[in-house]
Amino acid sequence: MPNVDNQSSASGSFGYLLVLVLFALVFVLVLPLIGMLYMDTLVVKREARQQMEKVEKLRKSIEDERKKDADTVLLPHQFPDGRAPKNP
Q: What is the reported pLDDT for 1?
A: 46
Average pLDDT for the chain: 80
* Distance, CA of 51 to CA of 14 (rounded, Å): 55
* Distance, CA of 4 to CA of 15 (rounded, Å): 17
Q: What is the reported pLDDT for 41?
A: 98
Across 14-23, 41-50, 61-70, which has the greatest mean pLDDT? 41-50
Lowest mean pLDDT among 8-12, 18-22, 39-43, 52-56: 8-12
Helix, strand, coil content of the chain in percent (nearest 5): 80, 0, 20
Question: Residues near 85 by Cβ (< 8 Å), separated by ≥ 6?
Answer: 76, 79
| pTM: predicted TM-score of the whole model, two decimal places | 0.51
